Amino acid sequence: MARGEVREPIFKAYHQHQIMLLPPSLDELIGVNHPVRVVNEVLNKIDIQPLIRKYRTGGASNYHPQMLLKVLVYAYMNNVYSSRKIEEALQQNIHYMWLSGMSTPDHNTINRFRGEKLKEPLRNIFTEVVLLLAEEGLLSIKELYTDGTKIESAANKYSFVWGNSIKTNRSKIKQQVDELWGYAQSVASSELEDPEPTDFEKITSEKVKATIEKIDAVLKDKPEVSKAIKQKLNYGKKHWPEALDRYEAQEKIMGENRNSYSKTDTDATFMRMKEDHMLNGQLKPAYNIQISTNNQYVTNYSTHQSTTDTTTLTAHLEQYKEQYQAMPAVVTADAGYGSEENYQYLQDNNIEAYVKYNHFDREQHSTTQDKKPFTADKLYYNAQQDYYVCPMGQRMHKLYTQTKETKNGYKQTVTKYGGVNCSRCPLNGVCHKSKSNRVIEVNHHLNSLKQAAKEKLQTELGIYHRKKRCADVEPVFANIKSNHQFKRFKLRGMEKVTIEIGLLSLAHNLRKKTKHTSRQSYPITQKAA
């Protein structure tokens, strides 16, 4: 090279329009252990006849349901939840192109398939995949670790209807009708036959309408009736019956076990969300999602409208029974599930349960046990003569027994015991806060179930399952919500939300399967010293 000569940079050949004699296939461009191959391999093994039967015979041709299923599951594996983005990926991403065989269904086709065709078959598809993974030894369907989380609905978070608000507004209408009736009686008592026309158990639009018409007829020709009363009557005649009909329809949507719902997704219940960006626990329309896992694989999922986990366990396990035609051998859950109904259900179905109750963790620390030394569970109980002994040594005798019913219809039997001479007791105000004699409420059956649960939880096997639960089921929710950013549903309604949870669970299991396959192909070796 001559002195002063400038050296040119060297580049690799770049021929954008070069024609290939043998163009490469998409299959050659995809790695051997790529997740898309795992999706294809696993979903090729399952029976999709229930899905095919969702299509009508004859007519125009449809995109193959097996292809659409693979594309949807692979999209959920890669955080692509929008039907429009899936449509775009089918035209731009070689993995989607290979999986779909170059088919390009539009977003409407994808959304109809997800929201309508998968409604019933998806649960069977998910179960088959779980059983395939169990055959490979990746998980066991006999030992379950159960937990729940709340995921926000696709509804407008400000479109709420509250049960307590309905009750308040209904009582206000009744009160105003009573006031109008009272005024009418003061003006023309002889013309009104009924003394209290709104004295009924449930106020209805028909009764309010009839009462207002009667009051209006009585006060129509009275010159002493003020303008404000006439305006109130006209307003009531126009708005109150319509409002009561609306309240009745809203209560029908809400049902007996809910206290709220969203107008734009009537199946969603307002729940306190931990993920609120202001960290103030804002109420949002959401669903309570329950899953059971083993070895961090999802074995069962269910969707609930309840704001707490306590009332979801029986329905969740019944869903498991329907899927696998048997009950699990072992169930481990946290203190949110420790109710009498759940303990009894697990016992009746011969399930080995490791389920905490609300004060279990507190009882394990001696420093917290002495902060409330006079609670009912720390009083001495004489089972033979059925009485408790108060902190001053006085007997608390049985007062009566009553039956209570939970939201799920489960009947509990509670017994009340009362103390004597509490007003003269030196511990008065410390032992209890009541101004009269102390009364305690005891559920003996629940106490015996808690004692049995405590004994199991404190065994070596119980400690093992308690520790494993935290590392088994909780990371699954963390992975779905944080790592894969699924914090809000795309679809509305219980059925469609359940489909999305099924797709998420299926995608999660196949992600785990992919990692297992990769570890087998490329085993980790120890570094040389």
Which position has the higher pLDDT, 371 or 276? 371
By percentage, how much of the chain surpasses pLDDT 90?
61
Q: What angle do CA 271, 272, 274 make, to 5 degrees?
A: 130
Q: What angle do CA 515, 518, 519 make, to 5 degrees?
A: 85
| Confidence tier at 527 by pLDDT (50, 70, 90) | very low
Three-state SS sequence of 290-341 = EEEEECCEEEEEEEECCCCCHHHHHHHHHHHHHHHCCCCCEEEECHHHCCHH
Confidence check: pLDDT of 192 > 70: no
- Cα torsion through 205, 207, 209, 212, rounded to 10: -140
Per-residue pLDDT tens for 351-396?
Answer: 999 999 988 888 877 554 567 788 888 899 999 999 999 988 899 9
In this prediction, residues 25-52 reach a mean pLDDT of 90
Do 351 and 328 form a contact (C-beta atoms < 8 A)?
Answer: yes
Cβ of 492: how many Cβ atoms within 10 Å? 19
Average pLDDT, the chain: 88
Per-residue pLDDT tens for 277-336?
Answer: 556 668 899 999 999 999 999 999 999 999 999 999 999 999 999 999 999 999 999 999
Give the pLDDT of residue 434: 80
CA distances from 24 to 31, 55, 99, 247, 447 (A): 14, 36, 16, 65, 70
Confidence check: pLDDT of 498 > 90: yes
Give the whole-angstrom CA distance, residue 282 versus residue 305.
Answer: 17
Do 480 and 511 form a contact (C-beta atoms < 8 A)?
Answer: no
Give the pLDDT of residue 366: 59
Q: What angle do CA 195, 196, 202 make, to 5 degrees?
A: 160
Confidence check: pLDDT of 528 > 50: no
Give the whole-angstrom CA distance, residue 270 versus residue 352.
Answer: 34
In this prediction, residues 124-136 reach a mean pLDDT of 95
Which position has the higher pLDDT, 427 or 132? 132
Confidence check: pLDDT of 4 > 70: no
Which position has the higher pLDDT, 229 or 246? 246
Confidence check: pLDDT of 70 > 70: yes
By percentage, how much of the chain surpasses pLDDT 70?
92
In this prediction, residues 148-152 reach a mean pLDDT of 94
Which position has the higher pLDDT, 369 or 346? 346
Cβ of 56: how many Cβ atoms within 10 Å? 7
In this prediction, residues 118-123 reach a mean pLDDT of 93
Give the pLDDT of residue 1: 55
In this predicted structure, which of 237-246, 357-366, 475-484, 501-510 has the lowest mean pLDDT? Answer: 357-366
Q: 194 Cβ partners below 8 Å, 6+ apart? A: none
Strand pairing class (269-272; 260-262) = unpaired
In this prediction, residues 444-454 reach a mean pLDDT of 94
Give the pLDDT of residue 277: 59
Determine if the pTM surpasses 0.85.
yes
Which position has the higher pLDDT, 187 or 480? 480
Confidence check: pLDDT of 54 > 50: yes
Output Rg (C-alpha) for the chain, integer angstroms: 33
